[in-house]
Structures are given as C-alpha cells and as structure tokens.
Amino acid sequence: MKIEQGMKQAKASLLLEGFEVKPEHDILVRSRLTGEISEEEFQQQALELAQRGKNI
C-alpha cells in the first residue's frame, strides 16, 4: 500500500471514530513514514502535540 493511500484510509477511520485530524498530525505521520524522522523523534513530537492539545 502506498503512503498516501494508507494515510487517507487511516484519516477516514479516525474521523469516523470522532477524532480530529489536524494538518500537523498529517505532517508528523508522513515524516515518520518517509523516514525523515526516527521513531524516537516521532514519539516525542506526538507527545508534544498531545500536550498542546490539552492546553487549548
């Protein structure tokens, strides 16, 4: 499965479950899937995004 196809399917599933998918989420996941960032970097940035979301 290509990255774009997988991203679309995952986003659709999340939206159906009631989650909001923001552009920064797409960018972060795509960066990990393409190898631009490591798993450790991904996890750290995902945690930061989650923490920021709780402060809104």
pLDDT digits (tens, 9 = 90+) for 25-51: 999 999 999 999 999 999 999 999 999
Phi, psi of 38 (to 5 degrees): -80, 170
56 pLDDT higher than 80: no
Contacts for 48-56: CB closer than 8 Å, 24+ residues apart: 49/24, 49/25
The domain spans of the chain are 22-56
